[in-house]
Amino acid sequence: MPEPDATSPVLKARVEALRTGTIPSAPPGPGAITPITWVMLAFALLPAVVGGLAEMAPQNKGGCLGAGVAVGGFFMVIFLICLVVDLCTPSPKSRTSPERAVKAFYGALRRKSYGRAYACLSPLDRIDELRPTLAIGRLDVPERSFSFATKKGFAEYWREQAGLATGFLGGYHKSIQAKIIKVTPVGADVAAVDLRIDVSGYPSLATLGVFCGLLPAVLLIVLMTRRETFEVRKLLVLKEGLWWMVNGEFTPEGDEAIERLLLSSGKS
């Protein structure tokens, strides 16, 4: 992948904004509870309510309430699981430290909640400049370029980088994990976070093994899973009490170029 051009006006403008603190404002992002969790809660309560109303109908022969509670109980279990996952992952609104910002960003990517990850991206980085994905041959990731000017472009980038590459019956189904190694101050309002990013994936066709039984499907997925590990250094900036990802790309090149320019301009 080519190194970012240090003479690029776009890159220089981003560095100058970081140096002077003239970063556009943006809403802080959504809270801890995700939409799917609220949907599961609605599915849990609705059958019980409908069953209760049916139970009170004059022609009812009984049993509607029990059936409604049983169906609702199934979705209540799913709701509780989703709720625990939500509460264990820092939300985009709670990025009060670089560590929490990193966990909110990559936690959203791991769950493929690209809108929530985009809410962690600095407004300074929401520009038309094209960002190339990192080609990972073993995981069927091609190099393609996308703009982060809109949430849609950002989501397309990360669907390509760590989502479903070419649809359910093609490519690899991938997941991403990020572990913080260390946090280093770069300036009063800028920090660098060294990360170990693990990407794993298996061919989507492996899931067809479920037609032979759950155990064959699990064995196929385990045997066909491939993993790649990368160490990257990402920058974050403090704005209005929240930490924002300066560069939402998978690779560290853009962050490293910005950090070098910041240090050379006396930001540290």
Burial class (CB in 10 A: 0-12, 13-18, 19+), 15: buried
Residues 106, 193 within the same domain: yes
Structure tokens at 243: 């930490």
- Binning pLDDT at 50, 70 and 90, where does residue 61 land? low
CA nearest neighbour of 172 among 200, 146, 144: 200
pLDDT in tens, 41-56: 999 999 888 877 776 7
Q: What is the pLDDT of residue 41?
A: 93
Give me the pLDDT at residue 237, please. 96
pLDDT confidence tier of residue 5, bands split at 50, 70 and 90: low
Enclosing domain of residue 75 = 33-88
* Same domain, yes or no: 77 and 24: no
- Share of residues in the chain with pLDDT > 90 (%): 47
Q: In this model, does residue 268 exceed pLDDT 50? A: no
Mind listing the pLDDT tens digit for each residue in 181-220?
A: 999 999 889 999 999 999 888 877 777 777 777 787 788 8
Which residue's structure tokens are 């759950």?
214
- Whether 132 and 258 map to the same domain: the answer is yes
User: Could you tell me the pLDDT band of residue 103, with boundaries at 50, 70 and 90?
Assistant: very high
User: Which has the higher per-residue pLDDT, 7 or 8?
Assistant: 8
What are the CA-CA distances from residue 191 to residues 182, 214, 233, 237 (Å)?
A: 10, 46, 10, 6
* pLDDT of the residue at 256: 92
Among 47, 62, 88, residue at a domain's last position: 88
pTM of the entire structure?
0.84
Query: Bigger pLDDT: 86 or 56?
Result: 86
Domain co-membership, 39 together with 138: no
- The whole-number pLDDT of residue 6 equals 61
Residue 169 scores a pLDDT above 70: no
> Is residue 188 domain-shared with residue 228, that is, in the same domain?
yes
Q: What percent of the chain has pLDDT over 70?
A: 89
Q: What is the pLDDT of residue 100?
A: 96
Q: For the chain, how many structural domains are there in total?
A: 2
Mean of the per-residue pLDDT values of the chain: 86
> Do 205 and 136 fall within a single domain?
yes
- Three-state DSSP at 22 gives coil
pLDDT (mean) for 66-95: 90
> Are 160 and 246 within one domain?
yes
13 lies in some domain:
yes
CATH of the domain at 162: 3.10.450.50
pLDDT at position 165, please?
Answer: 47
Residue 30 has, within 13 A of its CA and on its CB side, a CA count of 15
* Between 7 and 131, residue with greater pLDDT: 131
**Is position 23 within any domain?**
yes
Q: Which of 69, 88, 107 is the last residue of a domain?
A: 88
- The whole-number average pLDDT for the span 241-265 is 91
